Amino acid sequence: MSTAEVTLPARRHRQSALARAWAFVKRHALTVYSLLFFAYLMLPIGVVIAFSFNNPKGRFNYTWQGFTFKNWQQWNAIPNLQSAITLSLEIALIASLVATALGTLIALALVRYGFRGRGSTNLLVFLPLSTPEIVLGASLATLFLNSTSLHFNIQFGFWTILVAHVMFCISFAVVTVKARLIGFDRHLEEAAMDLGANEWRTFQKVTLPLIAPAILAALLLCFAISIDDFVVTYFNAGSRVTFPIFVWGAARVATPPQINVIGTAIFAVAVTLMLGNVFLQRVRESKGAV
């Protein structure tokens, strides 16, 4: 009897704590789940960053052996790594500039003008996005391989990689800029025209500043896609080695931790840029600007 008297209040207390915990989980189930989801997303990234500080004994960097800064200090100690990164950066820079320029023009035509062949233009922009990369890579390589029979002698290398990257980046640029063009108020342009500005001046003074954020976003997106691309590049690179191709080759024989160093560095730069963008938007919104 006495034990029951003693334990009863305690049990009731525990029950209510449990009930409260259950109520909390029920109310915040979606939040708890989402946080777990983000943990899952971040897990491999954490591994990549952690293993850039690993001190592997063998040729492979798959098990944790000890902490070191050595890989960061000697990031370019692996033969051919630095030249691979340089090539990747050059290609990404040029390809994103060219693809964004071409893509912005297409987006302007698609949103601003009604013209014959709009449907097929949309289709031609959409098709590369829905074609598996391996098909894009193999078909473009086939064109270059057969170029001799057309009396062009195209050698695989820098230019073939660049052509390929511009090709698969254009559609992404069109989609990004188009979304912004559809979203904005055309009356602003009409007002400028009413006030006597011609088409070019209206574009320069009204349209361009308004779509500038989208153009910047397209540039960043194309840069990111280009620098990360492996499949299409692998088919069209010949003997040139970009950073992803370097990683691919390394994965077969040895994975130096310097690969993780570069991966971490690219990640850090990209996240900083994106955070800056988020922050800028926040500032702009709080100022009440468009």
Partner 1 sequence: MGFFHRHRGLTPYLLLAPGMLWLTLFFLVPLGFLAYQSLQSGSIDFGYSFTWAWSNYSDALRNYRGQFERSFLYAGIATLIALVVSYPVAYWIAFRGGRWKNLLLLFIVAPFFVTYLIRTLAWETILSDNGLVVRTLDHLHLLGVLGQNGRILSTGTAVVAGITYNFLPFMALPLYVSLEQIDETLIEAAEDLYASKWRAFWRVTFPLSLPGVVAGTLLTFIPAAGDFINAQLLGSPSTHMIGNVINSKYNDLIDYPAAAAMSFILMAIILAMVLLYARAVGTEKLTG
Please list every residue from 103 through 142 that binds partner 1, using CB under 8 A.
103, 105-106, 108-109, 112-113, 115, 121-128, 130-136, 138-142
Per CB under 8 A, 243 contacts partner 1: yes
Query: Taking CB under 8 A as the rule, does residue 199 contact partner 1?
Result: yes
Residue (21 or 274) nearer to partner 1, CB: 274
Does 90 participate in binding partner 1 (rule CB under 8 A)?
A: no
Could you give the CA distance from residue 138 to residue 164 in angstroms, rounded to a whole number?
11
| Using rule CB under 8 A, residue 254 touches partner 1 | no
Q: Does 47 bind partner 1 (CB under 8 A)?
A: yes
Rounded Cα distance between 274 and 278, Å, is 6
Is 10 a binder of partner 1 (CB under 8 A)? no
Work out whether the CA dihedral 278, 284, 287, 290 comes out positive or negative.
negative
Q: Total residues contacting partner 1 (rule CB under 8 A)?
A: 87
Cα–Cα distances (Å) from 229 to 134, 226, 238, in that order, read 11, 5, 15
Residue 210 or 266: the one with the smaller Cβ distance to partner 1 is 266
CB contact at 8 A, 165 and 226 = yes
Figure out which of the listed residues 89, 94, 97, 167 binds partner 1, where binding follows CB under 8 A: 167
Q: Who's near 94: CB < 8 A, 6+ residues apart?
A: 162
Applying CB under 8 A, among 102, 154, 210, 254 the residue interacting with partner 1 is: 102
The verdict on 175 binding partner 1 (CB under 8 A) reads: yes
Asked if residue 170 binds partner 1 (CB under 8 A), the reply is: yes
Do residues 223 and 96 touch, judged by C-beta distance below 8 A?
Answer: yes
State the nearest-atom distance from the C-beta of 17 to partner 1, in Å.
26
Q: How far is the CB of 218 from partner 1 (least distance, A)?
A: 12
Asked if 44 interacts with partner 1 (CB under 8 A), we say yes
| Chosen residue from 278, 283, 284, 290 binding partner 1 by CB under 8 A | 278
Nearer to partner 1, 13 or 159 (CB): 159
Contacts of 62 (CB under 8 A, 6+ apart): 56, 255
C-beta of 15 vs 204, nearer to partner 1:
204
Smallest separation (angstroms) from partner 1 to the CB of 153: 16
Q: CB 207 → partner 1: shortest distance, Å?
A: 12
234 contributes a contact to partner 1 by CB under 8 A: yes
45 binds partner 1 (CB under 8 A): yes
